[in-house]
């Protein structure tokens, strides 16, 4: 039993203290490494007794407190309060323990230790703590030899109590701020000793070393503190060097000038990271050795009030790192640069091998970012600070004749940028006008005042103004503009927008007027204010060079309102409103200024009545942007050029043209388009293209004839091109009749398909004519390149067919020759019949002009006239047609009463040759009578047969003409489009058919009884000759033969050997009756119907 009791007692005596105790310190000496030993237990500090004491215990204590080794003969005694705790006694250490709490002890909380004294020791280390930065502020460093800095305290477990303990031990008051960032000392803890701390009940501690726990390599940042005993100073100067200026100190976040300061300026310069002091005029104004400037950069160039933040230290420039970049720091930069308030700030990614000022923290009232807390030594970082200040934001109204109207442009990050109209509202417009001191937005602005869209980029962020905003910078948001991909620029006019104009007979002279809204004013002509400088300024503003002469006109009746301001101009201003305002003279309203400028402005079109708008100012000419051009300006220009009033849609500009002008602006006093205000275009480009105009007088029409000028393919001369017309464009009867009327072709009969080859891809797609117009020039015409069905048009007039000389010569249609492409004798007969020259004897050819175009004709059986045949014009690669008709053939004898018989064919007289018969014994008179009787019989037989055949053919054709359908035909000679028609006219009878009754004289007369008095004159009654060709008499309506006798003769080149010789020749006379034809039955013959297109064709002079 006693044995067990002793065993328990022994275990209690050797119980490790580590189970209960937490911390061992030395206290009461001059430093943390000397004094009596205390142990923290049960949330309180207590003494360690010295009943069992030796050197091993002292070695372990010095090691436990990180104080080195015990000094020789340094042990002593010190009294203790009688009511104090003694936690340990009879401690047994081997001497190799790292901590006293690992030694053995006989018991805990010993109440039987009644000694009034406790042991003191002194260890070898001389501990010194300091702040790496400036006095009473910085990173916490320690030294164990009282000289060399050996390491840092870790920020772990470093709180306000620890900071107060440190500041107190350093005689720096209490802690003011525990720094989260490495403002003091280099970034990183490479090759540095780091000491962790762990404090217990710091109210009884006297030194931060008493909290030392262990050395470690696992420490991210050193502990850093600013004590109340520190003084924070800055230099406030001009901004060109933040290390020079008036010395100020911070108290309660307010900066006041330093007074009665005993600290050396060298210390202050070092504390501000400005080097050392080189100039100190007094205790207030200091200039340090370093030259430090905060600059803003944009694309490696210094910018004003926006950009990436940099610090220039002497000759080196470093980007400011943005690990802790906030609006407060950004505001310090904007204030330092005198750039107003912060509009936007941003942390941008980007590796900087030599960055500066990381871990910034500003109060917001510093004179420079350099005077804020931060890491002032260069190091590598991966972020950069960026700021946009309000003074970098501005607004203007661009490209107008006045500063209070135009396209809204906002200066953002150094660029003038347009604003998207889709994200704009009236409040924004009001703020812009007020910002520019232009009043409010003008609601009812002139729609003709279109301002250029410009070419700059669009603002990337949206603009949203509050009603009480005073500056456009207050309207900027950080929201990206994603409203629309296709963007239109905002364009506004403010109430105070005003323009200068000249009211005179030309563009650069007249009375000087000022238009503001709906009101008109006139510039005072007082000699005190209307001088050469002011006159030159007005001429420059109107782009009219300088003033050649300036004067005034009387306003004695005071009917004209005089502008209420006077100006004094100098330094060549570009606008009268840029001049300085002066006091009004007494005679301010008595006269009105007039001026004649040296320049001249001319506005026209590049192709007379169509083309690009061309503006010439002196030697400089160019176009104007299309996005500012209006229809009213087109009307003014066409009227000015006397090119009609109607404006047509241009299909394309005739050529590329530089746009020397962005826009032009008229006033209500503008009489001539050259009197507008012009806005020059320095960029020479437009958003779209240069403006072009097509005036109505530039338009013409033609019928590219198929048969004649009144039937053919319709073409419109549009922008210097003959373009075919789509059928859709001619659906309106009004348009078709206008085209026919322009060519004196009556009314439109019908529309048909385009005939012949097509050229090009463009066509007239639309023709819209107002009621009552008589010319296509007054219609609205449009064109495009979309394929369509092209149209031809037939009007009610036929072409003019001529044969010159009459009845024998070259065939012409509307004075243009005909090519023999598909010509045959039937076509020749049509010509002779139409000319009233009976039938054709034959045709011959002549050579064409290779440079000219001629008609190519194709006739069908139902065509009764050459003008009804299909035709087109093209160059002739064959020959030109000439026709010789029977009526042109003449006979004569070489002598008055006899002689050789001659015939006139193709304007040449030739002898008629015959073979002399053999001599007969038969009496001559009976032979002549027999031959004459035989001839009469033959003629009667032929006439009778022809009459029967004509009647038969008429009956057949009358049936056929009613049954024939529309028929498409095609030339064999080339690839041409068909032109279809229907029969609606009488078809010509078979070639050389008799149409009149034949009357013959049976009374034969002998040859000697014929009169010969008129042989030398045109024959009244021709003597008939017979040949192998049968002869007949042809009669037709409106034919007018002088002798009412027609013959067909063979070509004179044919043989006349078959003419029988007889002393008696029987004369046969055929009479042509002009009266209406009758059928044998006495019933008038019905006209034959000819096949044509879709309607019956009415011949002129016939009633339908």
pLDDT at 277: 79
Contact 233, 247 (CB under 8 A): yes
Is 840 in a helix, a strand, or coil?
Answer: strand
Contact 145, 125 (CB under 8 A): yes
- Ranges of beta strands (E only) in 979-1048 are 982-983
Angle at 49 between CA 43 and CA 55, to 5 degrees: 120
For range 992-1013, the mean pLDDT: 35
* Strand (E) or helix (H) holding 510: strand 509-516
User: Within its chain, how far is the Cα of 145 from the centroid?
Assistant: 78
Q: Is the pLDDT of residue 797 over 50?
A: yes
For range 194-201, the mean pLDDT: 91
Token pair in block for residue 895 = 């002598």
CA distance 410 to 885: 88
CA distances from 555 to 485, 559, 562, 590, 594 (A): 55, 7, 9, 5, 12
Q: Which one is predicted more confidently, 896 or 767?
A: 767
pLDDT at 681: 87
Q: For the ranges 300-304, 606-610, 990-994, which has the lowest average pLDDT?
A: 990-994
CA distance 105 to 11: 10
Q: Is the pLDDT of residue 1022 over 80?
A: no
CA distance 976 to 657: 40
Give the pLDDT confidence of 418-432 residue by residue, as tens digits. Answer: 999 988 999 999 999
The DSSP string of 918-982 is: PP--S-HHHHHHHHHHHHHHHHHHHHHHHHHHHHHHHHHHHHHHHH---B----TTS------BE
pLDDT at 967: 34
11 by Cβ neighbours in 10 Å (0-12 / 13-18 / 19+) ranks as: exposed
Q: Is the pLDDT of residue 1056 over 70?
A: no
Q: Is the pLDDT of residue 433 over 70?
A: yes
CA distance 677 to 542: 6
pLDDT at 1052: 36
Give the pLDDT confidence of 452-495 residue by residue, as tens digits. Answer: 888 888 998 899 999 999 999 999 988 887 766 678 899 999 99
Mean per-residue pLDDT of the chain: 79
Angle at 584 between CA 579 and CA 590, to 5 degrees: 115
User: Within its chain, how far is the Cα of 979 from the centroid?
Assistant: 47
Contact 26, 61 (CB under 8 A): yes
Query: Which percentage of the chain shows pLDDT scores above 90?
Result: 38
Termini Cα distance of the chain: 160
Count the neighbouring beta carbons within 10 Å of the beta carbon of residue 916: 6
- Ranges of beta strands (E only) in 589-656 are 591-597, 601-605, 610-617, 620-624, 647-648
Q: Is the pLDDT of residue 9 over 50?
A: no
pLDDT at 340: 94
In which residue are the tokens 């002139």 written?
A: 446
pLDDT at 952: 60
CA distance 869 to 874: 16
Which has the closest alpha carbon to 319: 239, 393, 382, 238? 382
* Strand (E) or helix (H) holding 513: strand 509-516
Q: Which residues contact 138 (CB under 8 A, 6 or more apart)?
A: 130, 131, 132, 184, 185, 224, 225, 226
pLDDT at 688: 66
Give the pLDDT confidence of 228-241 residue by residue, as tens digits. Answer: 998 899 999 877 89
> With bands split at pLDDT 50, 70 and 90, how would you rate the model's confidence at 163?
very high
Which has the closest alpha carbon to 945: 982, 994, 1006? 994
Give the pLDDT confidence of 724-741 residue by residue, as tens digits. Answer: 999 888 888 888 888 888
For range 137-154, the mean pLDDT: 86
pLDDT at 1099: 38
17 by Cβ neighbours in 10 Å (0-12 / 13-18 / 19+) ranks as: buried
Tell me the CB-side half-sphere exposure of residue 465, using CA atoms within 13 A.
19
Give the pLDDT confidence of 80-130 residue by residue, as tens digits. Answer: 887 888 888 888 999 899 889 889 887 766 666 778 888 999 999 999 999
User: Within its chain, how far is the Cα of 805 from the centroid?
Assistant: 65
For range 813-820, the mean pLDDT: 91
CA distance 534 to 567: 7
pLDDT at 334: 96
Contact 463, 423 (CB under 8 A): yes
Which has the closest alpha carbon to 358: 179, 506, 478, 203? 179
Is 735 in a helix, a strand, or coil?
Answer: helix
Give the pLDDT confidence of 403-419 residue by residue, as tens digits. Answer: 999 999 999 999 999 99
For range 652-660, the mean pLDDT: 67
Angle at 812 between CA 1089 and CA 759, to 5 degrees: 85
538 by Cβ neighbours in 10 Å (0-12 / 13-18 / 19+) ranks as: buried
CA distance 484 to 418: 14
> With bands split at pLDDT 50, 70 and 90, how would you rate the model's confidence at 638?
very high
pLDDT at 689: 81
Give the pLDDT confidence of 445-464 residue by residue, as tens digits. Answer: 777 788 988 888 899 889 99
Give the pLDDT confidence of 53-66 residue by residue, as tens digits. Answer: 899 999 999 999 99
């Amino acid at each position: 039993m006693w044995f067990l009791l002793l065993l328990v007692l022994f275990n209690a005596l050797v119980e490790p203290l580590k189970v209960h105790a937490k911390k061992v310190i030395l206290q009461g000496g001059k430093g943390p490494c000397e004094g009596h030993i205390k142990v923290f237990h049960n949330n309180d500090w207590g003494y360690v007794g010295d009943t069992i004491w030796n050197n091993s215990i002292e070695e372990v204590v010095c090691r436990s407190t990180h104080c080195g080794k015990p000094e020789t003969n340094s042990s002593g005694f010190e009294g203790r309060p009688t009511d104090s705790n003694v936690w340990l006694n009879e401690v047994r250490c081997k001497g190799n323990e790292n901590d006293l709490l690992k030694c053995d002890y006989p018991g805990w909380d010993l109440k039987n230790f009644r000694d009034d004294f406790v042991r003191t020791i002194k260890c070898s280390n001389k501990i010194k703590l300091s702040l790496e930065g400036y006095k009473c502020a910085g990173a916490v460093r320690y030294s164990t030899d009282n000289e060399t800095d050996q390491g840092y305290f870790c920020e772990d477990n470093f709180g306000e109590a620890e900071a107060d303990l440190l500041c107190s031990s350093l005689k720096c008051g209490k802690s003011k701020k525990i720094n989260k960032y490495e403002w003091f000392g280099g970034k990183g803890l490479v090759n540095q000793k780091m000491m962790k701390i762990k404090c217990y009940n710091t109210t009884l501690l006297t030194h931060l070393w008493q909290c030392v726990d262990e050395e470690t390599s696992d420490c991210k940042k050193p502990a850093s503190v600013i004590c109340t005993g520190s003084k924070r100073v800055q230099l406030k100067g001009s901004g060109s060097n933040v290390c020079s200026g008036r010395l100020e100190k911070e108290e309660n976040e307010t900066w006041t000038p330093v007074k009665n300061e005993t600290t050396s300026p060298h210390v202050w310069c070092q504390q501000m990271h400005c080097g050392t002091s080189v100039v100190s005029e007094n205790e207030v104004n200091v200039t340090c050795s370093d030259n430090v400037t905060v600059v803003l950069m944009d694309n490696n160039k210094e910018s004003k009030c926006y950009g990436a933040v940099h610090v220039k230290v002497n000759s080196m420039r470093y980007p400011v790192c943005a690990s802790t970049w906030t609006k407060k720091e950004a505001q310090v930069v904007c204030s330092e640069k005198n750039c107003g308030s912060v509009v936007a700030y941003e942390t941008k990614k980007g590796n900087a091998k030599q960055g500066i000022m990381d871990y910034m923290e500003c109060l917001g009232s510093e004179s420079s970012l350099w005077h804020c807390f931060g890491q002032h030594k260069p190091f590598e970082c991966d972020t950069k600070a960026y700021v946009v200040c309000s003074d970098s934001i501005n607004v203007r109204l661009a490209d107008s004749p006045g500063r209070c109207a135009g396209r809204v442009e906002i200066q953002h990050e150094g660029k003038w940028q347009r604003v998207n109209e889709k994200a704009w509202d009236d409040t924004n417009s009001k703020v812009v006008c007020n910002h520019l001191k232009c009043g409010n937005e003008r609601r009812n602005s002139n729609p003709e005042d279109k301002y250029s869209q410009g070419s700059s980029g669009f603002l990337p962020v949206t603009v949203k103004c509050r009603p009480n905003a005073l500056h456009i910078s207050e309207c900027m948001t950080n929201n990206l503009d994603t409203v629309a991909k296709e963007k239109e620029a905002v364009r506004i006019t403010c109430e105070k927008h005003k323009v200068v104009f000249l009211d005179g007979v030309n563009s650069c002279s007249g009375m000087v007027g000022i238009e503001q809204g709906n009101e008109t004013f006139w510039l005072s002509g007082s000699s005190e204010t209307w001088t050469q400088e002011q006159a030159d300024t007005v001429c420059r503003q109107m782009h009219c060079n300088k003033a050649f002469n300036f004067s005034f006109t009387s306003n004695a009746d005071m009917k004209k309102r005089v502008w209420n301001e006077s100006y004094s101009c100098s330094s060549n201003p570009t606008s009268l409103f840029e001049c300085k305002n002066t006091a009004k003279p007494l005679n301010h309203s008595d006269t009105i200024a007039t001026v004649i400028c040296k320049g001249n402005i001319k506005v026209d079109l590049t192709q007379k009545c169509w083309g690009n708008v061309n503006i010439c100012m002196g030697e400089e000419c160019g176009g104007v942007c299309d996005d500012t051009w209006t229809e009213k300006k087109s009307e003014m220009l066409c009227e000015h050029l006397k090119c009609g009033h109607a404006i047509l849609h241009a299909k394309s500009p005739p050529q590329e043209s530089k746009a020397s002008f962005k826009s032009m602006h008229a006033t209500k006093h503008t009489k001539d388009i050259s009197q507008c205000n012009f806005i020059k275009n320095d960029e020479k480009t437009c958003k779209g293209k240069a403006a072009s105009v097509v005036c109505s007088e530039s338009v013409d029409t033609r019928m590219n004839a198929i048969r004649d000028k009144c039937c053919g393919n319709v073409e419109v001369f549009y922008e210097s091109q003959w373009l075919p017309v789509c059928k859709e464009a001619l659906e309106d009867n009004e348009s078709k009749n206008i085209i026919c009327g322009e060519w004196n072709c009556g009314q439109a009969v019908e529309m048909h398909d385009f005939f012949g080859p097509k050229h090009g891809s463009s066509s007239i797609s639309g023709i819209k004519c107002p009621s009552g117009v008589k010319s296509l020039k007054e219609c609205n015409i449009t064109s495009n390149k979309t394929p369509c069905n092209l149209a031809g048009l037939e009007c009610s007039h036929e072409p003019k067919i001529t044969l010159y000389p009459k009845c024998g010569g070259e065939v012409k249609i509307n004075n243009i020759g005909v090519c023999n492409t598909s010509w045959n004798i039937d076509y020749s007969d049509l010509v002779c019949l139409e000319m009233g020259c009976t039938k054709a004897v034959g045709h011959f050819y002549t050579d064409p002009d290779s440079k000219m175009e001629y008609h190519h004709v194709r006739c069908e059986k139902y065509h009764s006239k050459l003008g009804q045949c299909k035709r087109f014009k093209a160059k002739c690669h064959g020959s030109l047609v000439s026709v010789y008709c029977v009526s042109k053939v003449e006979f004569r004898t070489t002598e008055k009463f006899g002689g050789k018989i001659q015939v006139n064919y193709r304007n040449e007289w030739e002898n008629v040759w015959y073979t002399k018969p053999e001599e007969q014994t038969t009496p001559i008179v009976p032979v002549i009578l027999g031959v004459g009787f035989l001839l009469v019989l033959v003629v009667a037989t032929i006439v009778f047969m022809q009459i029967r055949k004509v009647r038969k053919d008429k009956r057949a054709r009358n049936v056929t003409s009613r049954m024939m359908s529309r028929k498409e035909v095609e030339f064999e000679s080339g690839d041409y489009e068909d032109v279809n028609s229907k029969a609606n006219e009488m078809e010509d009878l078979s070639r050389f058919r008799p149409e009149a009754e034949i009357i013959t004289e049976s009374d034969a007369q002998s040859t000697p009884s014929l009169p010969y008095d008129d042989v030398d004159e045109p024959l009244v009654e021709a003597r008939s000759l017979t040949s192998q060709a049968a002869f007949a008499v042809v009669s037709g309506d409106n034919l007018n033969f002088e002798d009412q006798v027609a013959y067909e003769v063979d070509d004179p080149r044919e043989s006349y050997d078959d003419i029988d010789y007889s002393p008696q020749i029987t004369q046969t006379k055929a009479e042509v009756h002009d009266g209406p034809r009758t059928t044998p039955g006495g019933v008038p013959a019905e006209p034959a119907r000819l096949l044509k297109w879709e309607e019956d064709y009415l011949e002129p002079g016939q009633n339908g």
